[in-house]
Chain A
Amino acid sequence: MSDVLLEFSNVTMQFGGVTALSEVTIDVHRGEILGLIGPNGAGKTTCFNVITGVYSPTSGGVLFDGKDITKLKRFQITRSGIARTFQNIRLFSQMTALENVMVGADTHKSSSVPGALLRTKHQRHEEKESRDRAMELLTFMGIADRYDSAARNLPYGYQRRLEIARALATDPQLLCLDEPAAGFNPAEKQELNELILKIRAKGYTVLLIEHDMSVVMNVSDRVVVLDFGRKIAEGLPAQVQINPDVVAAYLGVPDAS
């Protein structure tokens, strides 16, 4: 078993004339929390979209657990063990919190229309499994008290956490979080940090996109920095923070004069 869970190698992603990613290589190791940072438009979310099959890369490849996943359909990628959340929350707003998570938990189930029509033993067993797993995850995320509310009626913080619960329900090896702290106050960010560490402690590998330095620097084991679609730095949070290229990308380069 290789130490590398996800190999994102030499990926270039072009949209017409715009190059969103240019020969980006990222290795995600098993069990780590890898922070992916960069200024707006650096290509972070594009990375996620390539990994999860939303876009197929112009060139380069994505190996997950040693297998090429660039040709797989999106739901197959999820089944093979990659789950994600969205930068702008995309819950199933007219479903309850529990149902939202159950959709994720249904990923590895096999019963379909015939099973549901006949309510076979197998189908009832799978329903119960999904329900129990979903309830367990809602409890883990600390939002079980609102399990029966429509997702659209949940407070913002609950919605963010519900997205993570739904992603975890697909039983992933790699969890991709796209700006989970967006819109959080410092206390909520602190809670989120603890939650991410708790998730990692359960054995999930986490790939984290985040703008907020207090989150990234506190929880990440390693950090990759993107700027204008290129990888400009990689390393421990402390190293990256003082890297002159990174500072320049975030703060700009002082005029020569």
Chain B
Amino acid sequence: MSSLLSVFTKFKVFFLDTFGGLSEKWYSLTKNQRYSAWGLVIVAVYLAPWWPKLPVIGWIVNTPGTNFESVLTDQVLIYVMVALGLNVVVGLAGLLDLGYVGFYAVGAYVTAVMTSQHWNLPWLVALPVAVIVSMLFGLVLGTPTLRLRGDYLAIVTLGFGEIIRLSAKNLEWLGASRGISKIKHPPSFGPIKFGVLDAKPYYFLALTFVLIVMFFLHRLENSRVGRAWTAVREDEDAAELMGVNTYKFKLWAFAIGAGVGGLAGAQYAGKVSFISPDNFPLQLSILFLACVVLGGSGNMYGAIVGGVMVAWLPERFRNFTDKRVLVFGIALVLVMVFRPEGLLPRRVGAERRKSKAIDEIGASS
């Protein structure tokens, strides 16, 4: 047992060194160098569908048994988008939402109803409506429930997710348990055609949406709104006594989180073109939450890393057949043991710039 522990410790030190060193290097770069680095990363990520062709890296990232491009679009980017939205609610504002799949479902169903079931509108028209309707659902759920805190809020949101799924299952207007098929794809433009076989166009589109959402969430985080959210998370009573209209900002967090979830749902529906209530089980809410917690609650980049891991790992190990869920579970446990604050934890102020501080925290925890 003790030798096992020492292996763990060595592994942990290795982990901290790698991550700590990285962040130190990052902050030693000039602003222009950082922008160029960002540019390179973005280009590399846009080229992700071709990664499996690379030596070594290709072997690591490839998903045997499943089409890699489909994994990227149907799983990875959807989870990343959802994690970005849920991170606002759970990570920034500290509101535990266990029914987030509900907003995702609302976005998907609005798209389905508008482009196939009842109307014949283009996907691009349905998209903004899906986002707005999801936000409204966020307000509808939040208005009565955000007076509750902690565990109570979690239970109510848990119920909300199930209500959405059961409503879809029982309402003939929403296709009941048969679901809705023939949902429209995004419109093709130029050489980029959104069809059934090639997943790449969806990947580019979804990645673009992720970058746009990141851009705006970054602005929110670094503003009065982000401060209000963090203050609510840290100490709601103190925040209110310091003049923060906590209820208003919690509602905003809910609405914005719901809107991003709805956007992910609309993209999903536009890609797979068929949805049914079975696509939105409670389990998905838990996995979404796992993305945020695994990645590093309260850190946008953490949520992205979490989303990628939760979506990609099970596909990577698909050739383990039955045992892949076990591998996934072990991976989750290991991360929580070695990085209890997530893979990329939230760092505050000067800590961000000092890898030394990271080591100290790592050593004391």
Contact = CB atoms under 8 A, between A and B. Distances in A.
A200 B243 CA distance: 22
Contact of A106 (B224, B248, B346): B224
**Interface residue range, chain A:** 35 or more
Q: Chain B's interface: helix, strand, loop or mixed, by majority?
A: helix
Interface in B292-342: 298
Interface residues of B, number: 33
Interface string A110-137: 0111011101000100110010000000
Nearest to A84: B241
A54 B241 contact: yes
A148 interface: yes
B246 A96 contact: no
A90 B237 CA distance: 9
Contacts of A153: 351
A112 B219 contact: no
A79 interface: yes
Contacts of B239: 92, 103
B350 A170 contact: no
A93 interface: yes
Given A54-B241, A103-B242, A166-B242, A95 B348 contact: yes
B225 A103 contact: no
A95 B230 contact: yes
Contacts of B346: 94
Contacts of B256: 113
Interface string A48-85: 00001110000000000000000001110011000110
Contacts of A86: 238
B90 to A, nearest CB: 14
B252 A107 contact: no
B275 to A, nearest CB: 29
Interface in A153-172: 153, 166-167, 170
B350 A74 contact: no
Contact of B234 (A84, A93, A98, A116): A93
Interface string A88-104: 00111111111100111
Nearest to B360: A153
Contacts of A97: 349
Interface string B252-281: 100010000000000000000000000000
A112 B243 contact: no
Nearest to B232: A92
Contacts of A96: 348-350
A94 B224 contact: no
A226 to B, nearest CB: 21
B243 A150 contact: no
Given A103-B239, A112-B252, A166-B242, A148 B350 contact: yes
Contacts of A74: 240-241
B34 to A, nearest CB: 19
A98 to B, nearest CB: 8
B224 A130 contact: yes
Contact of B224 (A73, A90, A112): A112
A150 B244 contact: no
Contacts of B348: 94-96, 150
A111 B224 contact: yes
Interface in B192-248: 216, 219-220, 223-228, 230-231, 233-235, 237-246, 248
Contact of B227 (A106, A113, A148): A106
Contacts of A116: 219-220, 223-226
A107 B219 contact: no
A134 B226 CA distance: 16
Given A99-B227, A103-B228, A106-B228, A117 B243 contact: no
Contacts of B248: 112
Given A54-B241, A104-B242, A113-B252, A94 B230 contact: yes
In this complex, the member of B224, B233, B349, B351 whose beta carbon has the largest number of chain A beta carbons within 10 angstroms is B224
A109 interface: yes
Given A54-B237, A94-B348, A149-B349, A75 B227 contact: no
Interface string B142-161: 00000000000000000000
Contacts of B230: 92, 94-95, 99
B213 to A, nearest CB: 11
Contact of B351 (A78, A104, A106, A150): A150
Contacts of B245: 75
Nearest to B230: A95
A146 to B, nearest CB: 8
Given A75-B243, A91-B234, A107-B244, 13 more contacts: A75-B244, A78-B240, A78-B241, A91-B238, A94-B233, A95-B230, A104-B242, A106-B243, A112-B252, A116-B220, A116-B226, A148-B349, A166-B242
21 contacts: A53-B241, A75-B244, A79-B243, A84-B241, A91-B234, A92-B234, A92-B239, A94-B298, A94-B348, A95-B348, A96-B349, A98-B349, A99-B227, A103-B228, A103-B244, A104-B243, A108-B243, A123-B223, A148-B350, A150-B348, A153-B351
